[in-house]
Amino acid sequence: MAEIPVVVLGSGGYVAGELLRLLSGHPVMRLRAAVSRSKTGTRIAEAFPHLAGVWPAETFVSADAVDALLDTDGPVALFSCLPHGQAARILDGLLASAEGARANMKVVDLSADFRLPDAAAWTEVYGESHGAPERCPSFSCAIPELEPSAPSEHVAHPGCFTTAVTLACAPLVALGLASPPYRVSAVTGSTGSGAKPSETTHHPSRFGNLKAYRPLIHRHAPEMEMLLGRLGGPAPEVRFVPHSGPFARGIHATVHVDLAHPMDTASLADAYAAFYADAPFVGVSATPPALKEVVGTNRCRIGVAATGTSAVVMSVIDNLVKGAAGGAIQWMNRLCDLDESSGLELAGLGWG
């Protein structure tokens, strides 16, 4: 199959670094432009020393390099790792250039700018004006395992918390197994806060520490409710309490629910396994999952426990892979008519 040129936009952070790592082994996608305004001319290996073995000489480029790819036959894959509030405006300009050149540009945006259904909903959650409101209808926000077909245009990949929690809750909603509210406690690693340390995310503050933040008012809860609301019936209330964990990679989410009828652990696990039977990256068992089972992979591991009408569902993912870069590649594979597992059949880090 013909190679697909790839642009990674906003290439200086953790998610971009993870995209560059995963793309180095992709059978079809080929990096043509790692765009970073602050690092233009710098070698990728200098910014990400762990990638020196796969990108030893390649450098970051300016956004001008994207124009040279617009006369390519076939699709151009663009991954946006730009910050929330900046991505929409910049993507709008690049998409306008692609449309003018009649280029077939496919975009997967990893910011939050196109996750909510319209600009008004986005402004309500983020408290500022949207950068490209007219582009909102051309982006679909979804998790691959819960969307059987590829969107016709572009994808807004859900956040990492949203991915872990929605995958944990989806069978409960779709199969009518539980009644809301869904009570969620989730812990994320420090890489979820980005590469620039702040007072609360700096390693000395997080090491040996655990704390909740923005309980019941976190901005990812509306994403969870929106995605779960597509599975049948009204959107369930998600009472979400996120926590900062003392580790670097991964998310562990625990969901407490009241079941619609009594079940035991084995029957609930069977229902989950049947629901995800065709999902290559979701595994289900009747035992609690551990982060080290999934760190470094695009997998989600779900464990369940039930007694009577009480149930607990536990979900673990790597926030940088399944929750960001890996999930984005999974979507781009679909957008480009590739097998969604291409480049993502990864062994875990084990002791990383």
Residue type, 61: V
Cα–Cα distance, 9 to 30 (Å, whole number): 14
Greater pLDDT, 283 or 195: 283
| Residue 271 phi, psi (nearest 5) | -65, -40
**In the predicted structure, residue 207 carries a pLDDT above the cut 90:** no
Helices (H), the chain: 14-23, 44-47, 87-100, 119-126, 160-174, 203-206, 221-229, 265-275, 326-335
pLDDT tens track for 213-245: 999 999 999 999 999 999 987 889 999 999 999
**Distance from the Cα of residue 216 to its chain's centroid:** 21
Structure tokens at 104: 């077939």
Q: How many angstroms separate the Cα of 62 from the Cα of each of 9, 81, 133, 195, 220?
A: 9, 14, 25, 20, 31
Cα–Cα distance, 6 to 77 (Å, whole number): 5
Cis omega before residue 181 (within 30°)?
yes
CATH of 4-141, one of 3.30.70.890, 3.40.50.720, 3.10.150.10, 3.90.180.10: 3.40.50.720
161-175, 183-197, 331-345: range with lowest mean pLDDT: 183-197
What is the mean pLDDT of the segment spanning 302-318?
A: 98
Q: Which residues contact 264 (CB under 8 A, 6 or more apart)?
A: 306, 307
Mean of per-residue pLDDT scores for the chain: 94
What is residue 136's predicted lDDT score, i.e. its pLDDT?
A: 95
Q: Where are the beta strands (DSSP E) in the chain?
A: 4-9, 29-35, 75-80, 104-109, 139-141, 154-156, 178-188, 211-212, 238-244, 251-259, 282-285, 300-307, 310-317
CATH of 161-319, one of 3.30.360.10, 2.60.40.1180, 2.30.110.10, 1.10.3720.10: 3.30.360.10
**In the predicted structure, residue 297 carries a pLDDT above the cut 80:** yes
What is residue 205's predicted lDDT score, i.e. its pLDDT?
A: 83
What is residue 352's predicted lDDT score, i.e. its pLDDT?
A: 67
How do beta strands 29-35 and 211-212 pair?
unpaired
pLDDT tens track for 242-268: 999 999 899 999 999 999 999 999 999
What is residue 107's predicted lDDT score, i.e. its pLDDT?
A: 97
Report residue 335's pLDDT band, with 50, 70 and 90 as the boundaries: very high
Greater pLDDT, 105 or 71: 105
Nearest by Cα to 290 from 331, 247, 332: 247
This prediction has a pTM of 0.95
Neighbour order of strands in the sheet with 282-285: 211-212, 238-244, 178-188, 251-259, 310-317, 300-307, 282-285
What is residue 203's predicted lDDT score, i.e. its pLDDT?
A: 72
Domain residue extents for the chain: 4-141, 161-319
Report residue 198's pLDDT band, with 50, 70 and 90 as the boundaries: confident
Cα–Cα distance, 61 to 41 (Å, whole number): 6
Which positions are annotated as active-site residues? 160
What is the mean pLDDT of the segment spanning 129-145?
A: 96
What is residue 210's predicted lDDT score, i.e. its pLDDT?
A: 93
